[in-house]
Amino acid sequence: MNEMTKITTTLKDWETDQEVRWCPGCGDYAILKAVQRTMPDLGADPSKTVFISGIGCSSRFPYYMETYGFHTIHGRAPAIATGVKLANPELDVWIITGDGDALSIGGNHTMHLLRRNLDCQVMLFNNEIYGLTKGQYSPTSRQGTHSPSTPYGSVDRPASPCAFALGAGARFVARGIDIHKNLSDVLKAAHAHKGASFIEIFQNCIVYNKDVFEEFAAKKTAAETQLHLVDGEPMLFAKGEKGLTLNTQTLQLEVVDVSDGDWQAAGVIVHDVTNRSVAHMLVEMQFGEFPMALGVLYDDPRPTFEAQVVAQNEAAAAGKIPDLQGLLSKGQTWTVTEGGPEL
């Protein structure tokens, strides 16, 4: 996000007059509401906010935000956003994308946006399926996913969005769940981070991949299955009865039991959002053996791409006069007069 003057708005100011066209019950509705609810809290200015999307169900999102919006082409939102932000670094840019859009057709752009560290928020709606094209398996679908294009089950291993992002050089990686009340906190943290903020949001496609995240998203078992990470707090879950520790022999995370709330005795580690090594372990944790890590997994800003480009442009231009006539006349010239050429 940018340093900007905070302005006062309400949720209504962020809603458009357009009819929302997602399937009834789609997780996208919850995410849309969470964003519209969060924007006033951020003090954001609708006229300086741009939502840029690719193609897919999630990418219809900009039409429903009363901001500037650009619904682009499949996979290319990060590249469009790069041009927007380089042309006007003052804009607050949000990229809305999906698992197919960001990791399949647009995987290359996602990688380069993150490594360059363009200042923007990337919201990847992961539903592990191609919804808008009627249910083919996606790059995040689990092995064995049955779909119209994989009637005998998919054979390829899924991509892990957060591991991909961190591997690509992201300086902010977070996870949220569409209907989870904490999604707003994740959005705020992402917006507060200066640089590319990558957020994976588990989004329920109720038509083609219903409840695929139920094992960890279900409310009644959430305490056992979700680890909510908070900077400076111990990595505890299951009502404080379990936690994560680092096995210094194997250099791997392990789940440990915590007795009587004495997490220190159990060796539970404290979450440090700037610890890149631990972040790599958190994004690699396999659900089942481990809880699903949610919240801000990693947050350690460094200079943004557009700021560095602007700084270099200014430094290179410093002291030079943009004299077009002089530019055209550069190099060795000669003058022809009525009498002939002379140097």
Partner 1 sequence: MATALKQEEPNNPSPEGAENVVVRFAGDSGDGMQLTGGQFTLSTALAGNDLATFPDFPAEIRAPQGTLFGVSAFQINFGSRAIETAGDQPDVLIAMNPAALKTNVQAVRPGGLVIADEGEFGKRNLDKAHYESNPLEDGSLAKWQLLKLNISQLTLDAVKPFGLGNKEALRCKNMWTLGLALWMFERDREPVVQWLKSKFAKLPDIAEANIAALNAGHAYGETAEISGDGLGGGHLQHHKIAAAPAEPGTYRTVSGAESLSLGLVAGARLAELPMFFGGYPITPASAILHHLARLKEFGVTTFQAEDEIAAITAAIGASYAGSLGITSSSGPGIALKGEAMGLAIMTELPLVIVNSQRGGPSTGLPTKTEQSDLYQAVYGRNGDAPMPVIAARSPEDAFYCAIEAVRIAVQYMTPVMLLTDGYIANAAEPWKIPDVDTLERFPVSFMTEKPEGPLLPYSRDEKLKRPWIKPGTPGLMHRIGGIEKGVDTGHIEYGPANHQVMTEIRRDKILGVADSLPDQELAFGKAGAKLCVVGWGSTYGPIHQAVARAGADGKDVAHVHIRNIWPLPKNLGELLKSFDRIIVPEMNTGQLKTILRDQYLVDAKPVNKVSGQPFTIAEIAAVIEENLS
Q: Which of residues 66-125 bind partner 1 (CB under 8 A)?
A: 66-73, 76, 78-88, 90-91, 108-109, 111-112
Strands 252-257 and 242-247, by their bridges, are antiparallel
* Rounded Cα–Cα distance for residues 166 and 98 (Å): 17
Under the phi-then-psi rule, with left for phi > 0, alpha for psi from -120 to 50, and beta for the rest, what region is 198?
beta
Nearer of residues 46 and 169 to partner 1, judged by Cβ: 46
Q: Which of 10, 18, 247, 259 binds partner 1 (CB under 8 A)?
A: 18
Nearer of residues 152 and 334 to partner 1, judged by Cβ: 334
Residue with tokens 């006349």: 329
Nearer of residues 247 and 312 to partner 1, judged by Cβ: 312
Q: Does 44 bind partner 1 (CB under 8 A)?
A: no
Nearer of residues 86 and 256 to partner 1, judged by Cβ: 86
Q: Is residue 294 within a helix (H) or strand (E), and if so which, with residue range?
A: strand 292-299
Nearer of residues 270 and 309 to partner 1, judged by Cβ: 309
User: In whole angstroms, how close is the CB of 334 to partner 1 at the nearest point?
Assistant: 5
Q: Which of 1, 10, 62, 131 binds partner 1 (CB under 8 A)?
A: 62
Nearer of residues 111 and 297 to partner 1, judged by Cβ: 111
* Rounded Cα–Cα distance for residues 93 and 19 (Å): 23
Q: Does 317 bind partner 1 (CB under 8 A)?
A: yes
Report H helices in 107-258: 107-116, 161-167, 183-192, 214-217, 222-225
Nearer of residues 8 and 250 to partner 1, judged by Cβ: 8
Nearer of residues 168 and 179 to partner 1, judged by Cβ: 168
User: In whole angstroms, how close is the CB of 335 to partner 1 at the nearest point?
Assistant: 5
Question: Is there a contact between 88 and 44 (Cβ–Cβ < 8 Å)?
Answer: no
* Rounded Cα–Cα distance for residues 32 and 251 (Å): 39
Question: Is there a contact between 134 and 208 (Cβ–Cβ < 8 Å)?
Answer: yes
Question: Residues 296-315: x/- map of binding to partner 1 (CB under 8 A)?
Answer: -------------x--xxx-
Question: Is there a contact between 206 and 191 (Cβ–Cβ < 8 Å)?
Answer: no
- Structure-token pair, residue 144: 């064995």
Question: Is there a contact between 61 and 96 (Cβ–Cβ < 8 Å)?
Answer: yes
User: In whole angstroms, how close is the CB of 59 to partner 1 at the nearest point?
Assistant: 9
User: In whole angstroms, how close is the CB of 247 to partner 1 at the nearest point?
Assistant: 38
What ranges make up the beta strands (E) of 119-205? 120-126, 129-130, 136-137, 172-177, 196-202
User: In whole angstroms, how close is the CB of 272 to partner 1 at the nearest point?
Assistant: 32
Question: Is there a contact between 174 and 296 (Cβ–Cβ < 8 Å)?
Answer: yes
User: In whole angstroms, how close is the CB of 19 to partner 1 at the nearest point?
Assistant: 10
User: In whole angstroms, how close is the CB of 232 to partner 1 at the nearest point?
Assistant: 36
- Residue 212 CA neighbour count, 13 Å, CB half: 22
Task: List interacting residues with partner 1 (CB under 8 A).
Answer: 16, 18, 46-48, 50, 52, 62-63, 66-73, 76, 78-88, 90-91, 108-109, 111-112, 309, 312-314, 316-317, 320-322, 324-325, 327-338, 340-341, 343
